[in-house]
Structure 1
Amino acid sequence: MDHRVIVGSTILVVDDDASIRDAIADFLGGHGFAVRTASDAAACERELAHAPTDLIVLDVMMPGEDGVSLCRRLAPAGVPILMLSALDDVTDRIVGLEVGAWDYLTKPFEPRELLARIRALLRRPTADKANDRQAGGDVTFAGWRFNAGERRLRDPAGRLVSLSEGEHALLAAFVRRPGRILTRDALLDQARGVDAVSYDRAIDIAISRLRRKLADRDVTPLFETVRGVGYRFTPTVRSA
């Protein structure tokens, strides 16, 4: 998705605080987005039933059904969800990401950071499209070519790179969710029982090995460490 597509995308802002909701809507509207708003979970679902949206900005602390519960129900549709919360504890961020949020921003926040994160998420493919690509064969990222089904990875020079079973499982998980923060628990679910990866520290070690293996042939950093939470795969993933 290029900048021309990002501008004009529809954003649904869900927050029970009218002043925050309206301020976000005005700010995003001023940057070329079509913005709709909802004050709670029920209003959000009415808006989604009325018309599709490209991204949801979702507050955690809402009366009635809270944002975590709503995110859990909406996540399978594959629409990017950016959660907002005044809760800044690592555990709260992990919970939000585990139930399906693509990103998490704590209040108060700088509007320009919200804008940057929204633009970054809109450049990423939805989960459904990412899964379709993975099932369809080769994908590319930063010059690399990867085929999860055939368990084959080639570097930008076309040379085959050997991956262990655990490294393959982790790379496949990242390729399916480019741009999303994957918690250690989520990565453990992908690699559990593989190469004796069965605890958080093993995930860190396995990703460190994967980083080194890819860095041997490319200086571009591909993995971002999100302190206390997990990791994000930063390159754009495309069908080959």
Structure 2
Amino acid sequence: MSRVAIVDDDRKLLDLLKEYLEKNGYKVKDFINPETFLKRNYDIFDIVILDIVMPQIDGFELLREIRKKSNIPVLMLTARGDVYDRIVGLELGADDYLPKPFEPRELLARIEAILRRLRPEKLSNIVFEYNSFKFYPDSMRLVVGGKDTTLTTAEYQLLLYFCTNPFRVLTRDMIMENTKEIQWESFDRSVDVLVSRLRKKLGDNPSNPSIIKTIWGEGYMFIAKKSKTGIEKDNENNQ
């Protein structure tokens, strides 16, 4: 049973979502005070549902604190539907964004999509190994310069798509179409923001890229120089 934390200062909404999600098989813990949530061990939960507008600590600040300690999936809620809020949330490491008002069924669908990304299939024993980093899809592990680097689920999904489609021009539409489990917004900038986040974690300089190259007017190309793949390693071990 997946465990969901909901942080929101609206008691009526908390009760509604808790009842709905529990009826659909989730174990839910609600927090009306974000400071109480900050004192908990985030990693006992599988996903956090986080409101942006709260009187004690706003959702952006709370997300910053979460990302200092954990890469747990975070879905943000807000009554403010402007593009700026969405971009800021994505830049800070949110995995998805849902404007209020919304139907509980849509929230449930987005939660399930995010959690599916954490259960990659047919990826065991595969390692994408490049000159500057190693990527282990089955464990969502990224090693850059010999050090483990945490990935959000959206960053993981995007990196997996890049690694499996090297040296191809990938338009923004192609990226959105082939990473359907990410709940993309309708504006192109959401793709650019996520690519920017991924570049930073990979240590890739967008002015002189060696991993993700911008193809102006079209999209992106994954150009990392490959060392070996996990499949090749497995074949060698079996010989």
In the superposition, the TM-score normalised over structure 1's length comes to: 0.59
Give the 3 Å change call, closer, same or farther, for CA 125–68 of structure 1 in structure 2.
same
C-alpha distance in structure 2 between counterparts of 1:115 and 1:179, whole Å: 14
* Cα distance, 1:47 vs structure 2: 3.6
Residue 86 of structure 1 aligns with which residue? 79
1:56 to 40, 48, 51: 48
Equivalence map 1:168-187=2 (5 Å) = 179=182, 183-187=191-195
User: Which residue of 63, 66, 69 corresponds with 1:74?
Assistant: 66
Are the structure 2 counterparts of residues 16 and 146 from structure 1 closer, same or farther at C-alpha, using a change threshold of 3 Å? closer
Relative distance call for 1:184 and 1:107 in structure 2 (3 A) is same
**Correspondence for 2:175:** none
Work out the CA distance in 1 between the residues paired with 2:34 and 2:94.
15
Question: Once the two structures are superposed, what CA deviation does each residue of 1:111-154 show, in whole Å capped at 9, x if it has no partner?
Answer: 11000000011111299942348999xxxxxxxx9896xxxx5x
Q: Would you say 1:193 and 2:237 are equivalent positions?
A: no
Whether the 8 Å CA contact 2:7–2:30 is kept in 1: the answer is yes
Consecutive unaligned residues of structure 2, counting only runs of 5 or more, are: 120-136, 149-159, 171-177, 185-189, 223-229, 232-239
Match of 2:108 in 1: 115
Structure 1 residues 9, 133: CA separation in 2 closer, same or farther (over 3 Å shift)? farther
Which of residues 204, 215, 219 in structure 2 aligns to 1:206?
219
Note closer, same or farther for the CA distance 1:91–1:26 as it changes in structure 2 (3 Å cut).
same
1:36 deviates by 0.3
Q: Alpha-carbon deviation of 1:193?
A: 1.7
Give the direction of change, closer, same or farther, for the CA distance of 1:80–1:32 in structure 2 (3 Å limit): same
The corresponding residue for 1:232 is none
For 2:77, the aligned partner's letter is L
Contact map agreement 1:188 1:199 (CA 8 A) in 2: no
- C-alpha distance after superposition, 1:43-94 (max 9, x if no partner): 1123436x71000000000112111111122125110000000011111111
* 3-state SS of paired residue (1:37): strand
Change (3 A) 1:147 1:205: closer
SS at match of 2:30: strand
Aligned length: 174
| Aligned mates of 2:161, 2:80 — CA distance in 1 | 38
The change in CA–CA distance for 1:26 and 1:200 in structure 2 (over 3 A counts) is farther
1:122–1:186 CA distance, 2 compared to 1 (3 A): closer
Could you tell me how far apart the structure 2 residues matched to 1:146 and 1:57 are? 26
Q: Tell whether the 8 Å contact from 2:90 to 2:193 is kept in structure 1 after alignment.
A: no
Name which of 28, 37, 60 aligns with 2:30. Answer: 37
Does the 8 Å contact 2:110/2:183 carry over to 1? no
Match of 1:97 in 2: 90
Query: Given the alignment, which residue of 19, 38, 44 partners 1:26?
Result: 19
- Aligned-pair CA distance for 1:198: 11
Q: Percent sequence identity over matched residues?
A: 31
> Equivalent residue for 1:142?
none
CA RMSD, 1 decimal? 4.1
- Over 3 Å counting, the alpha-carbon distance change for 1:98 and 1:30 in structure 2 is same
